Structure formats: C-alpha cells, structure tokens
Amino acid sequence: MSHDTVSGDPITAEPADWHPLTRVAFRFCVVYFGLFCLWFAQITFAFAGPVAMLLPEGSVQWQMLVTDPLTSWVGRQVFGVDAHLRPGSGSGDQAAIWIAMFCLLVVAVAGTAVWSALDRRATGYPRLAAWFAVFLRLCLAGQMLFYGVAKVIPTQMPQPPLTALLEPFGEFSPASVLWLQVGSSPPYEVLLGAVEMLAGLLLFVPRTATLGALVALLSMAQVFILNMTFDVPVKILSGHLLLMSLVLLAPRARRLFDAVVLERACGPVTVKPLFSSARANRWTTRVQLALCVWVLAGLLLQGWQAWSSYGGGRPKPELYGIWSVSSFRLDGQPLPPLTTDARRWQKLVFDQIGAATFQAMDGSLHTAPADVDAGTHTLVLTTPLPPPDGTSAPAPDPTLFARFTYARHGPDRLTLTGTLRGAPAIIELDRLDPDSFPLRNRGFHWVQEYPYFR
C-alpha cells in the first residue's frame, strides 16, 4: 500500500466500500452535528475572535432567537408546554433548548432517510468525511479554548464571594458547591483550563488532531459527569462536545485499540486530502493555524475584560468587606443581638459595586441595591431584591429602604447614622478580615499529623 503526506496528514489508499451501516451513521452525523454546531450559538460565536468585543450584547444567541418561535410552537403542540428561550438566564438546559434538540433530532433522522434513499448507489464519502472532520474538530477546538481560557483566566468559577463565607453549607445547591469548590482553589482551576486549552490547540493542528481529540474526550468526560452529578445546567452542550470527540476518534478506534490495548504496531490513518493539489492542502493547514490564533486572541481579550469587570481584577466598592454589627440603635432604643429580632442586623457586606448585603439575626442574607457616595459619605439602600424564583431575575424595587451618613474611624471601624425603614438608626460596625475564615487562611501543608476537617 503506497502512502503520501498532504497537509501534515498521512494519506493512504482508500478502502473500496464503506459498510452500509457506516454510510447511514455518517449521513446522520453530518446532518445532526452539522446543524447542532451551526445552531448552538456559542459554538459559532467563538470564531468571531476579537470582533466579538464590538458586537452588541445578546448577539451570541441570534440563531436560537431566530428559531425560538418555531421551538415554542413545537413545545405547545407536541409537549403541551409553553417554553420560550430566556436569553439572560445563563442556563444551557432550558426547556426551549431541549425542545430544539428534539426538533434537530427529528430533522436529522428525516434528512438521513431522504439522503439514504436518494444516494443509494454511493459506496462511501471519503472527501466529504475529510471536510466534515475538519469542520467538527474546529468547532470542538473553539469550545475547548472557550472554556479553557475562562479557567486559565479564572472567571468561569471566581473566588467565593464574601457572602458565601457567611452562608451555611447546607444552603448551597449542588451546582454552587461545585462552583465554590473550584473557585476556592485558583491553581486547580487554572490547571483544569490548561488541559482544555491544550486539547483546543492540538485540535487546530491537523497532525496533532487525534491527540487533541483524546485529551478533549477525557476532559469533557469529567465535565459531563460533573454536570450530571452536580446538576449544572450545561448538560446539553457538554454532552454534545463529548460525543463530538467520540465521532472524531471513531475512524481511529481500531488503531488506538491495537496500539494502546494490544500493543500492536498500527499503520497510518487513512485520510482523504481536502483538495487534489498539495499546495492547496498546505494552505488549508495554514488557514487553520491562523484561525487558531484569531480565536485565541478573541477569547483572551474577552477573558481579560471579564477578569477586569467581574473577576478578581474588578474594582472594589468603597466600603469593601464584611462588617460585623457591634451596636444597633433603632428609634432611639438599643437592640440586643437576639436571633428573634427581625429588625436588627448581624453583618453588612460590601462586595460588588452597586449592591450591599445585610445578614439578619436569623442568619438570612438580603441583598439590596446600594449607592455609596465617597464624596458626601452617604449610603442609600433601596428595597432588598426578592430571591430569584428560578424563572426570571428579580426586578429591583426603587422604594427607599435606608439612608445613612457613614463615618470611618480607621480602616476597621464604621458608624452609620440615618434612617432605616423610616426610623432613626445608629449602627456601629467592626470590619472582619475575610482571611480569618478557614476557607481562605488554611493554606497548603505537606505534613499533616491528622486530617483537618472543620
């Protein structure tokens, strides 16, 4: 068997015919994964590169928004549910997206049947398979870089907010536990992202694409299991990225089994060149490498912007910190720290600009829009936001809740004087060091005589 090399890929003589089931499976994969990659907006958005910084907010989901009327109609007529896409929810497992997956599956099955009926005489699709493999691995590569950069520049799972240090562990959802666990260890998050970035970079290079697909398979298997076991709403996308890795590796499964399991020698992979010209094939490799640089540059810019706006590099509010209430006077009367008193506060937290969170005596946390004016030393709180109901973000209530003038007595002492719910109030607070919590001060120890579980 003679073989040559084009665009870094080994080329051997093509087998005469594909198995009939292989032809049907290939047709289905082309239709299903092709439509999925073009429709699931995040996948194509990664290829906007640096231009993504200039696009209007919400443009990432334009394909989903275009098809939302159709999926909503299917939801009502077929499943009896009123499902609409919620662009700002952050969930990739919305009912509307699941219904869209059903529609996509129906289209793929019908398309495969029609294609098989009209193309009964075809014995194989080597050239189309080569193009489809390039398309699929570039889509997978873009997503591996997308999530890898979001971890290497740790913004996907930021460090736990100050309020998380005050909440009981049992109050967290499984997804919050996972997010806080990873965010509590930035080195661990960076290493996870480095593996995903490695898979993405390897997938962009034809010669290393198989290794990249293997790394992506292992990485996405872990991500998918975490999403399933911690109920993270990215099950659809992570599951499809895992399947895409398997589809890319399927033609190489026998050789991988021979080499890794049976430790047998295996020949080069059969690859049909994209073009008949060697020069054209070399240019396709260069285009893929240039596309890698373009995508990576855009993701790094977006990652740095996220780090500066809401990540670890974000601006801190004027009164940043956890403030413990030492004295609380309301309407001229001192209020002792009784857990049954709904009027008194335990703590006041400033973590994000434009918001403040107070902890009631029963331990509950209430976040309110806050306006802090460093020039006049005033703090204005409007009505605390109700907790989200899981279907929409709570709407702010502009009703005045509290107005204070604050005075700082050194870096760790604060006095608020003003009105709370219309009554005169004087609140004295002491700043707690966030690093006094074991989650932040425990650190790393090579030697431990006993496990430290507190």
The DSSP result for 132-181, as a single string, is: HHHHHHHHHHHHHHHHHHHHHTT-SSPPPPGGGGTS-GGGS-HHHHHHHH
Tell me what the pLDDT averaged over the chain comes to.
90
- Residue 262 has a pLDDT of 87
- Residue 103 has a pLDDT of 96
Share of the chain above pLDDT 90, in %: 75
> Using 50, 70 and 90 to split pLDDT, how confident is the model at 330?
very high
The arithmetic mean of pLDDT across residues 82-91, rounded, is 88
Residue 281, exposed/middle/buried by CB under 10 A (0-12, 13-18, 19+)?
buried
Beta bridge partners of 430: 324, 413
Interacting residues of 414 by C-beta distance below 8 A, sequence separation 6+: 319, 323, 406, 407, 408, 428, 429, 430, 431
- Residue 127 has a pLDDT of 92
Domain range annotation of the chain: 3-309, 321-439
Q: What is the rounded CA–CA span in Å between residue 343 and residue 421?
A: 9
The arithmetic mean of pLDDT across residues 28-42, rounded, is 95
- Residue 452 has a pLDDT of 85
User: What token pair was written down for 57?
Assistant: 């907010």
Q: Give counts: helices (H), strands (E), the chain.
A: 12, 11
The arithmetic mean of pLDDT across residues 396-412, rounded, is 85
Residue 112: how many CB atoms within 10 A of its CB? 20
Tens-place pLDDT, residues 56-66: 877 788 899 99
- Residue 4 has a pLDDT of 41
Q: What is the rounded CA–CA span in Å between residue 246 and residue 420?
A: 60
- Residue 396 has a pLDDT of 56
- Residue 450 has a pLDDT of 87
Tens-place pLDDT, residues 335-350: 999 999 999 999 999 9
89, pLDDT greater than 50: yes
- Residue 394 has a pLDDT of 52
Residue 193, exposed/middle/buried by CB under 10 A (0-12, 13-18, 19+)?
buried
Q: Could you tell me the fold of the domain covering 321-439? A: Lipocalin (2.40.128)
- Residue 449 has a pLDDT of 87
Q: What is the rounded CA–CA span in Å between residue 352 and residue 88?
A: 19
Residues 421, 409: contact at Cβ < 8 Å? no
- Residue 15 has a pLDDT of 53
Residue 355, exposed/middle/buried by CB under 10 A (0-12, 13-18, 19+)?
middle
Tens-place pLDDT, residues 112-159: 999 999 998 899 999 999 999 999 999 999 999 999 999 999 999 999
Residue 66, exposed/middle/buried by CB under 10 A (0-12, 13-18, 19+)?
exposed
- Residue 14 has a pLDDT of 47
Alpha helices, DSSP H only, in 384-442?
A: 438-441
Tens-place pLDDT, residues 225-246: 999 999 999 999 999 999 999 9
> Using 50, 70 and 90 to split pLDDT, how confident is the model at 10?
very low
